[in-house]
Structure 1
Amino acid sequence: MKRKIAVIGSGFSGLSAASFAAKDGHEVHIFEKNHSFGGRARQFTTENGFVFDMGPSWYWMPDIFDSYFAEFGKKTSDFYELISLNPQFEMVFSDENLNLPQNFDEMKALFEALEPGAAENLEKFMQDAKYKYEVGMKDFVTKPCFSWTEFFSVKILKSALKLDLLSNFRSFVGKYFKNSKLRTLMEFPVIFLGASPENIPALYSLMNYGGYRLGTFYPMGGFYKIIEAMMSICGDVGVQFHNNSAVEKIISEKGKVKSILVNGELLEFDSVIASCDYHHTETKLLTDQEKNYTDEYWKSKTFAPSCLIFYLGISERIKIKHHTLFFENDLDLHTSEIYSDKKWPSKPLFYVCCPSQTDDSVAPEGCENMFLLMPIATGIEDSDEMRQKYFTQMIERIEKHTVTENLAQKIIYQKSFCLNDFKEDYNAYEGNAYGLANTLSQTAVLKPSLKNKKIKNLYYTGQLTVPGPGVPPSIISGKIAAHQATL
């Protein structure tokens, strides 16, 4: 039976959900509160010719993107050109810099130079991580997670011990590497999963495989090219888009969604998929009786970081890699101040993305496009003074690394984005940027449910539900939600 389905939010999970629901023959409408589509992956262009991706910048797990487009008879190359980055990124330490090569043999040589025997151990690590990736991304994360019985397949049960769900990531890395720089290099990918490495299941070594081994890529024109591609897919299957359309209420009757209130107008729908912030949906769009979870529930959850971001246009070219990680300070100190002490970091780590090193279209000729990101705790106070304090620190460290004098004076465009902006633009709970942490106690069935327990045709998708934070998981989440909404 053909249904009329509303999708709230146009990020990766929303576009994914809409495209799959429409592909199944349903009438689908996407409602986006902002002027531009894409959620956290929006893009903006300045008057002086800089093009900034606002959010995601790491193109990892390329097979997940390939699989999505293949579902619609397309290839990524039909929509954008992918460049394989070499080096994949540079990691800046206090005494030396490491460039992670694209080529795996060169990567092993780098590891061996830092620690005898590390090349062989990297091979073993990646073999193990590949197994987790293939089982995890193809079987584990595709479940709606309503019950543990979903995982009672012979394949998954046989894989349970090899998936290392009960051991922590730090100990797992320590089995293979002793060199502190190599351990930091291997632990880096899990920082944005929402906990320190000792609190993340070793299962997530799959991220090292999905990134380091499969490679780090860049879509020419920016990450927004993926949003445009998914919007094109949605258009092909008949999805209708509505921007500047804030959903103000979800109205139900006798345990079923009846309509939604959009900019003061009631619109009738048979089902709703909420791709917006889960907490916002529950607290602002539903009555207390219709919510899955209480405020106490959300307060008890561990969230992945928020972040302080700066979008900078630089008037000259500088010597920096496409991705550069500034890790001169202690990783454990920074993570404890994100997840435990919950305060602004005393000695922060941060990340710089400079896509103009690869893509001339994102900056005027002779200029540089730079994106600075510092992970911070959710729920802390955000102020212009605090933003400026850390901006100064980051600029000074970039100057030192690139041997650039008076970098601040060469900035011809500057915009910041932080906790208050995440709340304003995305209704993000406590200003979160990456959703819920992927800790063991917040994995699979223990995540917020994909389905509303009081309203049978209301579903949730995105980084606050299964499978979790990140672009590929969000695309998978949308597919799962669409399947449930169209059963």
Structure 2
Amino acid sequence: MKIVIIGSGFSGIAAAAYAAKEGHDVHVYEKNNTLGGRARQFTTDRGYTFDMGPSWYWMPDVIENFFNDFGYKASDFYELVELNPQFEMVFEDEVIALPADYTEMKALFDRIEEGAAVQLDRFMADAKYKYEVGMMDFVNKPCHSWFEFVSLKIAKSAFKLDLLSDFSQFVRKFFKHPKLVTLMEFPVIFLGAMPDNIPALYSLMNYGGYRMGTWYPMGGFVKIIEGMTAIAERLGVKFHCNAEVEHIEVKDGSARGIRVNNDFCIADAIISSADYHHTEQMLLDEEYRNYGEAYWESRTFAPSCLIYYLGFDRRIPNLKHHTLFFEHDLYQQAKEIYEEKIWPTNPLFYVCCPSKTDPEVAPIGHENIFLLMPIATGLNDGESIREQYFKQMITRLERHTGTTGLIDGIRYKRSFCIADFMEDYHAFKGNAYGLANTLRQTAVFKPAVRNKKVKNLFYTGQLTVPGPGVPPSIISGKIVANEVCKQCFL
């Protein structure tokens, strides 16, 4: 069977590899000139190499499982380095560094709040259970129906998984100090919603991150893409870059192929790992769409973000690989992102400095940094407003590191924001992380992996199950490949 895949992000490449493993003829079409989707990388003529997207390597076992499924190890393709501290969190009056060693982590918690070490043990024991059950029994479901979750094991686990309680309340059962609450709530921000709107199930994120460690693949996240691509190519997958898919041709309830770069490519099945909204609204005729425009407008989307890729001609002291600037109110920014849809008043932001770990991403004596500030989707993001926030972030970075004149040391600068997400990835309203993992947008409530009107058209990626993030996207690719392969036997 010939399978065509639209898009070469983590989910698209994973789907390609799993489908090819079953003996199918697989072709992947990527609109951009390099593979990886949001995980692309670029190198400047001044010698700076930037990962464009993901930078947090959490849940290493999920990524390892992908390579194991094909008889490899991640270490066959790249070197993993554990970060210590995992990250720093900058508060108004204190900087907290989260250590890699769990015993040291407990001591830190006890220093901030008496008895918090014992509470951390309790929290992590609960989170470990959720991680093991959730990652094994929940996230691997295609979510066609709630009946997929009807099993004795899941029924017994339902209460302990806290599916109906919110994460914010759950954290506060264990910790009272505001800084510890913020520290524990932070990981679910990756899921694209506020802690009080996310199921407590997602404490599994804390276990998959804090307890299993924060890692970095030497050479950048593109090394994961390169490793996955190498496996797919060894299985016969053909990748086509600079290949913009223009239309999905449907006849008699079946997709016949795609129109790409003014040519027609026949397919027995099609998987789109491109933006779900774009696939349906722009590539499919209206009568074949799962969802109309009103559906997408009613969804809660994870934020977009303002990113700056910066190359400095100097080393910047007192800066770690990951630094989170949380001097202001998280919930105020959340309200401005999700309810008011405005630029933040007192923005929180994140700084990644991979050159602290990887000497290959910047010239000797230089620094590679990207700044990332979460914002609402659909905003007007002209250059003047980008620059306004850039100056705010640089000022706070200088204050944290005890330096001055950082702007004078910039030798490379590039911004990336809402308009760029729309241009490069066809992202609906410029979203960066897909749909928020709220209770009403979890599992069966997510957009379906199968087209309900076209029997051989499927969807994968962060807008469908299991959700946003690198490990979930890899799992999403595996889920949809299994669904396509099932079709062969119908």
TM-score tier, shorter chain, comes to: over 0.9
**What CA distance in whole angstroms lies between the structure 2 residues aligned with 1:462 and 1:118?**
37
The amino acid that maps onto 1:47 is D
Cα deviation for residue 311 of structure 1 reads 0.2
1:15 maps onto 2:7 in alignment: no
Aligned to 1:233: 231
Taking the aligned partners of 1:371 and 1:159, their CA distance within structure 2 comes to 41
Alignment correspondent of 1:150: 148
Helix, strand or coil: the match of 1:381? Answer: coil
Take 2:83 and 2:38, find their aligned partners in 1: how far apart are those partners?
23
Match of 1:63 among 56, 61, 64: 61
* Aligned equivalent of 2:96: 98
Q: Distance between the aligned counterparts of 2:163 and 2:237, measured in 1?
A: 39
Q: Name the % identity.
A: 64
> In 2, Cα distance between the equivalents of 1:195 and 1:13?
22
Is 1:29 aligned to 2:27, yes or no? Answer: yes
Moved over 2 A (4+): none
Question: Is the partner of 1:371 in helix, strand or coil?
Answer: strand
Aligned residues: 485
Q: Secondary structure at the match of 1:486?
A: helix
Q: Report the CA distance between 1:486 and its aligned residue.
A: 1.3
Q: Is the 8 A contact 1:192 1:305 kept in 2?
A: no
| Offset of residue 363 of structure 1 | 0.2
Q: One-letter code of the match for 2:399? A: K
Letter paired with 1:299: E
Distance (Å, rounded) in 1 between the aligned partners of 2:165 and 2:78: 39
Amino acid at match of 1:403: G
- 2:446 corresponds to which residue? 447
1:299 to 297, 300, 303: 297
Match of 1:437 in 2: 436
- Asked if the contact 1:16–1:230 (Cα under 8 Å) also holds between the matched residues in 2, the reply is yes
Supply the distance in 1 between the matched residues of 2:220 and 2:235 (Cα, whole angstroms).
Answer: 24
**Residue 13 of structure 2 aligns to a residue in which SS?**
helix
User: 2:93, 2:203 → 1: CA distance?
Assistant: 27
Please name the residue that 2:470 is paired with: 471
- Show structure 1 runs of 5+ residues with no match: none
Residue 168 (structure 2) aligns with: 170
Partner SS for 1:400:
helix
Q: Which residue pairs with 1:248 in the alignment? A: 246
CA shift, 1:192, in A, is 2.5
Residue 177 of structure 2 aligns with an amino acid whose one-letter code is N
Partner of 2:87: 89
Output the CA distance in 1 between the equivalents of 2:252 and 2:363: 57
- CA deviations 1:362-394 (Å, max 9, x no partner) are 000000000100001111111101100000000
1:274-314 C-alpha deviation (Å, 9 max, x unpaired): 00000000001001100000100000000011100000001
Which of 176, 184, 192 is matched with 1:186 structurally? 184
TM-score, normalization by structure 1: 0.99
Name the structure 1 match of 2:116: 118
What is the SS of the residue equivalent to 2:256? strand
TM-score for the superposition, normalised by structure 2: 0.99
Deviations 1:191-215 (A, max 9, x none): 1212211111101000000000000
Letter in 2 for 1:442: Q
Assess if the C-alpha contact under 8 Å between 1:196 and 1:336 holds in 2.
no
Which range moves more in the overlay, 192-201 or 232-241?
Answer: 192-201
Which residue identity is paired with 2:28? I
Q: Counterpart of 1:404?
A: 403
**Aligned pairs for 1:30-429 within 5 A:** 30-319=28-317, 320-429=319-428
Q: Aligned letter for 1:244?
A: N
Counterpart residue type for residue 110 of structure 2: E
Return the letter of the residue paired with 1:348: P
Q: CA deviation at 1:341?
A: 1.1
Give the Cα separation in 1 of the matches to 2:155 and 2:375: 37
Q: Any stretches of 5+ residues in structure 2 without a counterpart?
A: none
The one-letter code matched in structure 1 to 2:395 is E
Q: Which residue is 1:482 aligned to?
A: 481
Measure the CA separation in 1 of the matches of 2:54 and 2:68: 22
Residues 96-138 of structure 1: per-residue CA shift (max 9 Å, x gap): 0000000000000000000000000000000000000001111
Report SS of the residue matched to 1:412: strand
